[in-house]
């Protein structure tokens, strides 16, 4: 296939992905975080821009197409490992982290608790790494901070024997720190939207020791039932 034909196919595929994202958001705007939809659309737009600007030529365009076709965690891991230091690789890592965090939080309260804990631990590790890589990207840094806060809080009080490897339980003080950094970054933008989060963080801070004891007791009882 000629280079121009490949370029046209890649461009059409990316444009189709962007259209699907926008149409899905119109159909259910409340079902998914607006921030994540914006990040998804920006990622596709960035891919198009890199492709037309040259980037790595047809390989760059093919990589963005692959990223949005291969959505399984294993496929995303392969993209990340084979393209170190690239924006598509970082995008793949973000998608992995989101998937692990969502699966983990959903599973921790049910019969798949142990798998849920492993997923949240993995998400925490990925977001810690991504936080260091996104010093120049405020939106991505905000996402990493908020996700880290949720993961860290979810792991507070988890018995050591239920954690994979030598991972440490969550630290409520660390979770509060991430929440506060996130709120500081967004500043006074849409204060009514984040007021409930501000109130929640204030309560966590004021009653930190009591909340930590609650998580300890709750997870000890959950471990016994398991």
| Cα–Cα dist 208/140, whole Å | 28
Give the pLDDT confidence score for residue 84 in this predicted structure: 76
What pLDDT was estimated at residue 91? 87
Decide if 162 contacts 114 (C-beta within 8 A).
yes
The confidence band for 225, taking pLDDT boundaries of 50, 70 and 90, is low
pLDDT tens figures, 48-95: 444 444 444 445 555 545 555 555 667 787 887 777 778 888 888 999
Say how far apart CA 67 and CA 63 lie, in whole Å: 6
- Location of structure tokens 């994202």: 21
Closest-CA residue to 128 (of 155, 105, 94): 94
Mean pLDDT of the chain: 76
How many other CB atoms are found less than 10 A from the CB of residue 107? 18
pLDDT exceeds cutoff 50 at 30:
no
Write down the pLDDT at residue 72: 64
Summarised one tens digit per residue, pLDDT across range 149-176 is 999 999 999 988 899 988 999 999 999 9
The pLDDT value recorded for residue 62 is: 57
Closest CA to 48 of 90, 18, 80: 18
pLDDT score, position 96: 92
Alpha helices in 28-86 (DSSP H): 34-53, 58-69, 73-82
């Amino acid at each position: 296939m000629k280079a121009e034909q490949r370029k046209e196919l890649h461009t059409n595929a990316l444009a189709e992905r962007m259209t699907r994202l926008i149409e899905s958001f119109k159909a259910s705007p409340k079902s998914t975080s607006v921030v994540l939809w914006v990040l998804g659309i920006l990622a596709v737009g960035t891919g198009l821009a890199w492709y037309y600007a040259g980037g790595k030529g047809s390989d760059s365009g093919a990589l963005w197409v692959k990223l949005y076709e291969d959505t399984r965690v294993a496929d995303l891991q392969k993209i990340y490992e084979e393209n170190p230091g690239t924006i598509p690789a970082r995008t793949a890592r973000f998608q992995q982290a989101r998937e692990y965090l969502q699966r983990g939080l959903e599973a921790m309260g049910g019969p798949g608790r142990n798998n849920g804990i492993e997923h949240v631990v993995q998400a925490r590790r990925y977001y810690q790494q991504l936080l260091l890589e996104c010093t120049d990207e405020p939106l991505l840094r905000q996402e990493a901070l908020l996700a880290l806060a949720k993961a860290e809080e979810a792991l507070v009080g988890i018995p050591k024997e239920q954690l994979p490897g030598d991972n440490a339980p969550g630290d409520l003080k660390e979770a509060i720190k991430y929440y506060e950094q996130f709120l500081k970054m967004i500043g006074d933008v849409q204060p009514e939207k984040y007021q409930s989060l501000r109130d929640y963080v204030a309560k966590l801070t004021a009653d930190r020791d009591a909340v930590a004891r609650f998580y300890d007791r709750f997870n000890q009882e959950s471990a016994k039932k398991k």
